[in-house]
Structure 1
Amino acid sequence: MTDELSKTEIAALKKLLTDRQAELKKLDDEAIEWRSTVELDQQSVGRLSRMDAMQQQEMAQAEGRRRVLDRTRIAAALGRIAQEEYGWCAECGEPIAYRRLEIDPAASLCIQCAH
């Protein structure tokens, strides 16, 4: 058996990447409200305190930064697929195991180089 990915495996991994890309876009669209400026509403009873709201805002911003990183990694992986360089370690040039790519289709390093 060859270490090189088959066209079927690459197509399945590409679908995982594009599905995740769409999911991240949806999450970004939903998170706009949480990232907005926190204002204290003195008239509302039972609302979160300003500190709680600010903490939620910071958490939403951190999640947004992680989504940006994920989208960048996905775009790079899709670029490697387009250039027919997908599935090869960027560090040592050896094949990346299919099982590793199933778990993280955006991985650019084999397991040995990732450690």
Structure 2
Amino acid sequence: MDATDVERFRRQLLARQAELLAVADTAATAADTVELDQTRVGRLSRMDALQQQAMSQENQRRRALELKRIVQALSRIKDHEYGYCVECADEIAENRLEIDPATPLCIRCASEREKVRD
């Protein structure tokens, strides 16, 4: 992978980071505490609000995880280690980086981790 490829991935990572930060700003209110006063909100509405809150909190968790992976990938770019697996140091296939520019693992190491989880 040459410098132009790395720069292209860096731009993609920065664009995705900006996108996630913008969504996080607008979605913060959806995860706020749900009003439990039954005189103001009916039971079904409250249950729906609690479900929406839980979904919003999970989305926030996933955004935070993706942002962390992006920051780590940008750090690897800065350290001239981008495109190499953090476990085995083999080169990560460019097609894999096209799908997920923040991926820290080659396909073999990612598959091995998945086997351990199962």
**Which structure is higher in RCO with an 8 Å CA cutoff and minimum separation 6?**
1
Aligned residue number for residue 87 of structure 2: 91
Work out which of the residue numbers 41, 44, 50 in structure 1 matches 2:46: 50
When normalised by structure 2's length, the TM-score is 0.86
User: Which contiguous aligned blocks of 4+ residues in structure 1 show a shift greater than 6 angstroms?
Assistant: none
Which structure 1 residue ranges, 5 or more long, are not aligned? none
When normalised by structure 1's length, the TM-score is 0.89
Give 1:28-67 correspondences, 5 Å limit: 28-40=24-36, 42=39, 49-67=45-63
Give 1:1-115 correspondences, 5 Å limit: 5-40=1-36, 42=39, 49-115=45-111
> What residue identity is the alignment partner of 1:75?
V
Q: Map Cα deviations across residues 53-99 of structure 1 (whole Å, 9 max, x no partner).
A: 00000100000001111011000000000000000011111100111
Q: How far apart, in 1, do the equivalents of 2:22 and 2:13 lie? A: 14
Which structure 2 residue ranges, 5 or more long, are not aligned? 112-118
User: RMSD of the TM alignment (CA)?
Assistant: 1.5
Q: In proportion to residue count, which structure has more helix? A: 2
Aligned residue number for residue 116 of structure 2: none
